[in-house]
């Protein structure tokens, strides 16, 4: 089936998910949508995020006719995934919900760390995701909007020492709280995944949802005798689409080139 898989985030945070899926599924057509016009999602109210995504997805369905939409943003997934599934019942959605359950299963100290946006941290506590059942654990959440901004604006220019010092201050906070498992609860943070693992070892185990999300998309594609799978050698055009009217800056141009994706404005498609 020659319909695309879409990945949506407010910026570049969902790129690791998009890239991982693309490498493992080279026949699939992929569109990555960066909602620059509404970046960042983290400080926004839940109702506002639902409205933003509902309007964006209505437009994307008309323009691109996707077979699967991946909400490649933890904040958007926690806030809006349930509502989007109700509003667009004919579309398959995959959400990047923070990997709290596997972290709870591995936790020995009784306290899980979660690093995320303001909205994600607030909603994790209100939903009490890890607070029920056999493996109930206390959540110690830290909101890090400045880390999202660092990754969005400086990740390509930052040297190894700057990355190390940026990550270390968060690891120090979680170690001081007695956390032994840490969930990276924002997709942006995967750009620093290896640094988090280096800084945390051997005291804290890092959890993310990258592999699980790719496997979930593949599961949906393979259902019903691979009915949604793209055929071999079909013409495809992977593309990054940016919302808003501003031209793409050099950072987005370089990232698209490295990924082998075309780059365009959503309004021009």
Catalytic option among 18, 73, 79, 239: 73
Asked if 73 is an active-site residue, the reply is yes
Percent helix, percent strand, percent coil in the chain, to nearest 5: 50, 15, 35
Give dist(CA 11, CA 33) in Å, integer. 8
Q: At what angle do helices 210-226 and 15-24 cross, to 10 degrees?
A: 40
Q: Show the DSSP H helices in the chain as ranges.
A: 15-24, 46-64, 74-87, 100-106, 118-127, 145-154, 160-176, 193-200, 210-226, 250-259
Catalytic option among 18, 79, 186, 239: 186
Give dist(CA 76, CA 266) in Å, integer. 19
* The two structure tokens encoding residue 48: 């506002």
Asked if 18 is an active-site residue, the reply is no
Give dist(CA 268, CA 175) in Å, integer. 48
CA atoms within 13 A on the CB side of 167: 25
Sheet hosting strand 111-116, strand order edge to edge = 138-143, 111-116, 181-184, 205-207
Q: Say if CB 213 and CB 70 are below 8 A apart.
A: yes
Task: Identify the three-state secondary structure at position 108.
Answer: coil
Catalytic residues: 73, 186
């Amino acid at each position: 089936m020659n319909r695309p898989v879409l990945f949506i985030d407010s910026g570049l945070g969902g790129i690791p998910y998009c890239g991982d899926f693309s490498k493992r599924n080279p026949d699939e057509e992929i569109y990555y949508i960066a909602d620059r016009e509404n970046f960042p999602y983290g400080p926004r109210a839940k109702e506002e995020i639902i409205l933003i995504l509902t309007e964006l997805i209505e437009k994307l369905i008309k323009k691109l006719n996707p077979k699967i939409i991946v909400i490649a943003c933890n904040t958007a997934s926690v806030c809006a995934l349930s509502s989007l599934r109700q509003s667009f019942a004919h579309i398959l959605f995959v959400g990047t919900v923070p990997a709290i359950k596997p972290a709870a299963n591995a936790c020995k100290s009784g306290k899980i760390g979660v690093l995320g946006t303001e909205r994600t941290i607030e909603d994790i506590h209100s939903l009490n995701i890890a607070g029920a059942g056999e493996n109930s654990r206390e959540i110690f959440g830290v909101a890090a909007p400045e880390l999202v901004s660092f990754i969005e604006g400086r990740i390509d220019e930052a040297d190894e020492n700057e990355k190390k010092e940026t990550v270390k201050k968060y690891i120090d906070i979680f170690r001081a709280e007695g956390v032994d498992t840490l969930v990276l609860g924002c997709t942006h943070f995967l750009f620093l995944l290896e640094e988090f693992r280096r800084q945390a070892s051997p005291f804290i185990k890092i959890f993310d949802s990258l592999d699980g999300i790719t496997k979930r998309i593949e599961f949906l594609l393979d259902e019903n005798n691979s009915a949604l799978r793209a055929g071999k050698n079909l013409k495809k055009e992977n593309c990054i689409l940016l919302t808003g009217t501003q031209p793409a800056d050099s950072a987005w141009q370089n990232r698209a080139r490295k990924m082998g994706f075309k780059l365009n404005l959503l309004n021009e498609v």
